[in-house]
Structure 1
Amino acid sequence: MSEWLEVNDLKTYYPVKKGLFGRTSETIKAVDGVSFAVRKGETFGLVGESGCGKSTTGRSILRLAEPTGGTVLFEGQDIMKLGKEELRRQRRHMQMVFQDPLSSLNPRHTVGKLLEEPLIVHGLGNSSERKRSVREMLEIVGLPAGFASRYPHQFSGGQRQRIGIARALIVRPKLIVADEPVSALDVSIQSQVINLMQDLQRDFGLTYLFISHDLGVVRHISDRVGVMYLGRLVEVADKQDLFSRPLHPYTQALLSAIPNANPDAKRERIVLGGDLPSAAQAPSGCAFHTRCPYAMELCSKVMPRMVERERGHVVACHLDQTGNEAIRC
């Protein structure tokens, strides 16, 4: 599989204005130099604590949040350079599924109108063809075609998320950015929605950027995984490599917190000290050094760069995989 979506040095900053004259007092670096590539047909998982910038990364790729810098290449085309009309046309191929389906669905519109609207925006089909597409899409996501006449508040959370997926899928996109698509659902419903997304990926040849804080879900659905901390990627690897051999101390701490289904199994829990620093006042050097149990003086002074330690396994850390000081990055 070739690299199909390439994100290079993506930055999204938000100025914080204070005082009578609204002067910028500090800058929140929500995304601070993120680079990764997604291959056609795969699911790339993006994980990290709340506030690490993973959702902003997804929105910035689609320019729902306007990036401060960097490039996003989708099938060789730089999304950052597109004008308003060109971006509108391109968004047919790049859709998003939101975390809260109720807030993302207009409560004044019926489901039929909500699903038909993207077809109207992109000029796809006449009225009868669009209504037929709406009925077909509802059935594809596991809902009766008759639900088209109902309103969003008349559905359960799982059903609303199916509607959200149907709305994203109805224009036949190539890439779907799924931002915490199952975090608001009950566990039993989560598995149904995840299975649906996998079936749709197979049937429609979709590529997913799957954003979540739930490592169990990410492990189930992803092919490769990127771990974010305070606006930056700290590790990227194939799913099996990441979960069996995490190299970054932050990744190791995250994986140690995953509940074990076997009550007799013993696992050492890595408890991180302190709180997640503010993105407006990120620590110097490696942002994780204030909580890292292996931090050295070098870590507080020099920002580590992403280095391939093993085939396809890159990590930003001044330690090598044996715990020794690595070559200065």
Structure 2
Amino acid sequence: MMESLLQVKGLKKHFSIKGGLFGKEIGTVKAVDGLSFDVKKGETLGIVGESGCGKSTTGRLLLRLIEPTDGQVIFEEKEITSLSNSEMRKLRREMQMVFQDPFASLNPRHTIEKILEEPLIVHGIGNKEERRKKVREILEVVGLSSYHASRYPHQFSGGQRQRIGIARALMTKPKLIIADEPVSALDVSIQSQVLNLLEDLQKEFQLTYIFISHDLGVVRHISDRVGVMYLGQMVELAESERIYEKPLHPYTEALLSAVPVPDPEFKRQQIVLQGDLPSPSNPPVGCPFHTRCGKCMDICKTNRPVLKEIEPNHFVACHLYE
């Protein structure tokens, strides 16, 4: 068994809804509601789910870019939710993020050299000459040239900008990289290049990834294990091939039935979910999926299922398997 790099226990993030003349709290959005999982050293954990399920919020909570409401995040046996801001800043050298929109995440007024040099300055790494050398080395590693350092973000294509975003994440030699929809804004032809780059970098630098995406095909290509989220909760977690070949949760089955297969002769029964995704401000009682589930039982309407190991290394939160 690989050693865990990151452990998440009962993680919650509730946002207050305020209204009225005096801004009184009138409700709560449960964006992440009791999430528990672990990430092994050197693996890629994919997190998938519909828009609004809490995937991106989870990524930001793990880096404490937003503060959790409750729960624990343990990185290398250190509980980070109780760390001070200065302690957390030091730890972020080990944990970095690649954002979805490479243009929005790069300062348009700064050259690429200044953008990539900034993490080194923040963490007090090297002198100016050493930092310049490091910038040029990393640019070469991600498939760009050293002369690109003097250019600005608007002078690059979307794929090149995402390579710059990846380069920035690598500058401090992190152990964990959280990639939040890193290829969803790119053309399909460019997506494969960026995914291959991420895989090559993982081998070269012994990186661990949390790969957040709504694209099940992309997640299957890059992930060792896959976690499926629904309404702020993890409903299934297993090795990638096991999830795709034998999904156990009805929600996972429905998601996979909608994935296109490049074979005109292949026939697959498509599962159409009834109704809309419930609001996180008013989630259903019991199982959060029971309002759309074709296999709903009476217990599902009253009791919330717990994520349990149903088969070896295959965890499911569903009353069907109790």
TM-score range, shorter chain: over 0.9
Partner of 2:182: 181
Partner of 1:35: 36
CA deviation after TM superposition for structure 1 residue 3, in Å: 1.5
Alignment RMSD, CA only?
0.5
Measure, in 1, the Cα distance between the counterparts of 2:80 and 2:104. 27
Partner of 1:294: 295
Partner of 2:319: 318
Sequence identity percentage: 65
Measure, in 1, the Cα distance between the counterparts of 2:320 and 2:22. 46
Q: What is the TM-score of this pair, normalised by structure 2?
A: 0.99
Secondary structure of the 1:102 match is coil
Secondary structure of the 1:148 match is helix
Partner of 1:54: 55
Partner of 2:200: 199
CA deviation after TM superposition for structure 1 residue 93, in Å: 0.2
Secondary structure of the 2:47 match is strand
Partner of 1:109: 110
Measure, in 1, the Cα distance between the counterparts of 2:64 and 2:52. 19
CA deviation after TM superposition for structure 1 residue 291, in Å: 0.4
CA deviation after TM superposition for structure 1 residue 290, in Å: 0.5
CA deviation after TM superposition for structure 1 residue 143, in Å: 0.4
Partner of 1:270: 271
Secondary structure of the 2:184 match is coil
Partner of 1:323: none
Gaps of 5+ in 1: 321-325
Matches within 5 A, 1:1-329: 1-320=2-321, 326=322
Q: What is the TM-score of this pair, normalised by structure 1?
A: 0.97
CA deviation after TM superposition for structure 1 residue 17, in Å: 0.3
Deviations 1:289-315 (A, max 9, x none): 000001111111000001111000010
Measure, in 1, the Cα distance between the counterparts of 2:289 and 2:36. 18
Measure, in 2, the Cα distance between the counterparts of 1:108 and 1:276. 40
Deviations 1:48-85 (A, max 9, x none): 00000011001000001111010000000011011111
Secondary structure of the 1:31 match is strand
Measure, in 2, the Cα distance between the counterparts of 1:267 and 1:67. 40
Measure, in 2, the Cα distance between the counterparts of 1:4 and 1:187. 32
Aligned length: 321
Deviations 1:231-287 (A, max 9, x none): 000000011111111000000000111101111110000010111011001010001
Gaps of 5+ in 2: none
Q: What letter is aligned with 2:316?
A: V
